[in-house]
Every structure is written in structure tokens, then in C-alpha cells.
Amino acid sequence: MIINQAPFSDELMFQRILLKISGEVLRGASSHFIDSQILEQLVLDIAQAYEKGIKLCLVIGGGNIVRGAKAASPHLARETADLMGMLATVMNGLAMASALQSKNIPAKVVSALHMPQVCTTYEYQDCLAEVDKNQILIFAAGSGNPYFTTDTVAILRALEMKCDVIMKGTQVDGVYSDDPRLNAQAEHLTTLDYQEVLTHNLRVMDMTAITLAQENQIPILIFNLCKKGGLLEALKGRGKYTLIQKEKK
Ligand code: UDP
């Protein structure tokens, strides 16, 4: 099924979503790991979607704290650096869960790594049942394995949790033919298929993530999460965003 955009409708395009938030979005312009104003805005936007009855899963990156590939060095094994990156996603997840709970939104961190004093360990059946009951789950610690990114984990958890779409919230309103900050002629791309993303190496998500989405035909919507109300607007098919899905026949 090809998803048609509904630019002037109040109808929501998706009912069960996985929202991917990178660590960079969480940091914003702040010199701290997490910008409290951004966190507050994200919580309000997530609350808006939740109140519309949207079933929400979240994957939050850790790039605002540690990225394994960058942190690794001759004195720090990549596998250890990646574990540090996974722990960073747990910290971000805890912050988001706490901020949502402060607004009485039911949110819980679920970790791929076992850390019972900190949060629940991921268990597929339990999580699926909780999402069905409108519990917001924040999937932390990535896949529990090194050499993966949280983009790939976002696709994986979206598939497992039977989500309709992965919504990747960024600081721009989708994908452009060139960097719009450097090239005023850069064209905004409203729809793309997975193959175009792979062939042109459009850096919206890493290749492993796009390939997993392509193999399982789950759409990815790239939108501006830093704009107030951006999540609901994108869910209504309004404003600018990029939808990546299967090839149009
Ligand atoms: N990570 C990992 N395995 C996973 C997911 C993440 O080892 O399954 C580590 C990896 O080091 C990565 C870091 O966690 O760099 C933070 O995730 P990511 O870079 O995807 O965060 P984002 O760029 O979305 O903020």
C-alpha cells in the first residue's frame, strides 16, 4: 500500500508510531546533554499525539553523550565505547520518561540490557501488550549489541511493535536535494523510495536501517520535531516532511 498524503485533512495518517529522536535533537543548542526547553516541548508534542489516541513507541539516541564509533580509540575498544553509547541512550530515556510522567503521561523505559534497578528489561510479548494498552514505551540500550545504531533499532522495534511508521524527528523539515543552508536552490523531496535513499546515499538514516525498512516495507517519515506542534502536524500530513516508502509502480 502506498500512503497518500492528506495535506488539508484533520485525519491522522498513522495510529501506531515509533518516534525516533536523536541525541542531537535532545541537546539542541545547549552546552549540556539535554536542553530542558527542548525536552519540555517534546513532552508537550508527544502528549498531544497521546491525547489523540496515538499509540507511541520511542527510540532515543545517545549521540548527545557518547557515540561509540567516535569515542573508540587505541585505548578504548569499540565494543566498550558502544556499551557506553548504549548506556547514554538509557540516560536519555530516563530523562524523557521522567518528563512525560511529570505531565501524567504513562511512559516507561525498557532496556535491551539487563539493569533491573534502573528499568525493565525488553521482552517482546510484554511490550507488545503494553503498547496495545496505550503505555508509551521508550526503548533504550539500543539492540544490546555493538556496531549498531539507534536508527536501525528504531526500525527493528517498530517492526516488532507492529507500528505503522517510523517517524524520525530531526532539526529540519525533511530531505533536500542538497544542503538547504548552503544552497538556496536545494529542492525539498516530499517522497522517496528506499532505493533512492540507498543509491544516492542520502544520509537520512544509516544504510542498515534503510535496508531493514526496505526489506520489511515499513514507511519512514522525516519531519521537523524542533518546531512546536511538528509531530501532530506531520501526523495530519500537513507542512513539509519527507515520506520514504516502497517504489511507486
Ligand atoms: N549503540 C550500540 N548498539 C545499538 C545502538 C546504539 O552500540 O544497538 C551505541 C553506539 O555506540 C551509538 C550510541 O549507542 O553510537 C548512540 O546511538 P546513536 O549513535 O544511534 O545515537 P543518535 O545518533 O541517534 O543520537
- Each residue of 148-160: pLDDT tens digit? 999 999 999 999 9
Centre of ligand 1 to C-alpha 170, Å, is 16
Confidence of residue 178 (pLDDT cuts 50, 70, 90): confident
* pTM (two decimals): 0.95
Which among 60, 82, 157, 222 is the best mutation to test ligand 1's pocket, defined by most ligand atoms within 8 Å of the CB? 82
Is residue 138 pLDDT above 80, yes or no?
yes
pLDDT in tens, 229-245: 999 999 999 999 999 99
Give percent of the chain with pLDDT exceeding 70: 96
For ligand 1, whether the C-beta of 80 sits within 6 Å is: no
Is residue 26 pLDDT above 60, yes or no?
yes
For ligand 1, whether the C-beta of 142 sits within 6 Å is: yes
Q: What integer pLDDT is reported at residue 159 of this predicted model? A: 98
Report which of 187, 192, 197, 129 is spatially closest to residue 161, judged by C-alpha positions.
Answer: 129
For ligand 1, whether the C-beta of 23 sits within 6 Å is: yes
Largest CA distance in the chain: 55
Distance in angstroms (rounded) separating the CA atoms of residues 154 and 244: 15
Confidence of residue 4 (pLDDT cuts 50, 70, 90): low
> 120-121 and 55-60: which strand pairing?
unpaired
CA 130, 132, 137, 143 torsion-angle sign: positive
Contact 230, 44 (CB under 8 A): no
Report which of 153, 171, 132 is spatially closest to residue 60, judged by C-alpha positions.
Answer: 153
Is residue 192 pLDDT above 80, yes or no?
yes
Q: What integer pLDDT is reported at residue 145 of this predicted model? A: 98
Distance in angstroms (rounded) separating the CA atoms of residues 31 and 158: 31
